[in-house]
Amino acid sequence: MGVVEVLDLVAPTRAGGWKVDVSRGERSGRVSSEWFNRPDDERYLSLDDLWANVKGRSERSRSRVVQTAEIRVEAARDNPERLHLRLPKAHEPVAPTHWAFGQLASIVGAPASYLRQLPAPLAGINLQYGLTNHRAEQVKTFETEDGRTELRAVTGPDYGRIHDHELVEAVQRIAGNGTGDTRWKVPGVLDWSTGVYNPDVEISRDTTTLYASDRDVFLFLVDDHNPIEAGRLPDGSPDLYFRGFYCWNSEVGAKTLGMASFYLRAVCQNRNLWGVEDFQEITIRHSKYAASRFAHEAAPALTRFANSSPQGFVNGIKAARQQIVARTDEDRDDFLRKRGFSKAESGKIIEKVLMEEGRPPESIFDFVQGITRLARDKTQQDARLDMEGRAKKLLDRVG
């Protein structure tokens, strides 16, 4: 495994962190959304603990393809609100999870929300009819033994399962335990009162970014002990970045497998990402050849990012700062209007840069920062993503 080359490494401006400028770049709420919605029992303090949980679950699981017409639906006698399924060659009935029940209902064309409102015997009759008359004939089940046998997933027969532990293992190969034993770790916290990002924060259930539920895993790690300088701020101080990535998977079909890598300037207490640049994403659907694609595409891509030099990113930022495209107000307006921005949008973009830089935009980098800053003000997600995408295209074309 190669060694990452970190450019322009700088000493902390004060004990406990680095001064950063989070007014630049994009803000991402993806990790914050995960952090906000995870109960304590879905939060893990290390990759080892997370892996042990999802690996053990996988070892207690089995997958098989069954004929839908051979599945029998039974209403539990001791609980009139619960259904059980008896699968071919199974010694005992299985209890579908909430997620698996929804999958099964969807496969046979029955509205799950309606079935859940019915007494179990009536819901069972409807579901049994759908299974008996299901035209596709086969489904793939995923059953887990944990005191009782649960049916955790019901998918099409060609579903290409990538186990949650496989993704965690790919991350462990570059990040160790995720707690600081390698350069990749759970992130620190930005102090809004000082603008200083502190990488050394105790990992607790309130700060961790390692998650797993019965449906999925999500992991976010940063290399925040090794800041990268890519240019200077208006006051002459370095514009510092850190490298980060997050990835996710669901072995029961609730999500695709995906990985995203990027550069960022800080992570706040609510786990929002600030000052994000150069966002790249890979997603893999759980289709027939998903496991092969994971082995040959996603896992190597994560390793390449972890071990790559940030030289290309730094050079791109520097080139964008140096490429002057407008020197007059007419040039600025013309530059933006030719790239599809309205007169009102152009005026706001120029104003954003003027307010934050103390001068109007001149370089490609100036315009990109103004566009992404304006995008943050968009309340509609589609409009915000569209504007951020246009900024990224502009930066990508720097040459």
Residue 15 has what pLDDT?
56
pLDDT of residue 76: 64
Interhelix angle 364-376/381-396, rounded to 10 degrees, is 170
Type of residue found at 200: D
Note whether 151 and 140 are within 8 A (CB). no
Q: Would you say residue 356 has pLDDT above 60?
A: yes
Contacts of residue 368, Cβ cutoff 8 Å, sequence gap at least 6? 320, 391, 394, 395
One-letter amino acid for residue 208 of the chain? T
How far is residue 181 from each of residues 48, 55, 80, measured CA to CA in Å?
A: 12, 21, 52
Question: Using 50, 70 and 90 to split pLDDT, how confident is the model at 13?
Answer: very low
Alpha-carbon Rg for the chain, nearest whole angstrom, is 25
Query: For 167, phi and psi rounded to 5 degrees?
Result: -65, -45
Q: Are strands 61-67 and 138-145 parallel, antiparallel or unpaired?
A: antiparallel
* Contact indicator for 277, 238 with CB cutoff of 8 Å: no
Quick: pLDDT tens for 226-245. Answer: 999 988 887 888 999 999 99
Q: What is the pTM of this model?
A: 0.83
Pairing of β 149-155 and β 95-96: parallel
Q: Where are the domains of the chain?
A: 18-56+161-308, 62-145, 323-396
Digit-coded pLDDT (tens) for 111-162: 888 888 888 888 888 888 888 887 768 889 999 987 788 999 999 888 999 9
Q: What are 51-54's contacts with CB under 8 Å, separation 24+?
A: 51/165, 51/168, 51/169, 51/172, 53/212, 54/163, 54/164, 54/165, 54/168, 54/212, 54/217
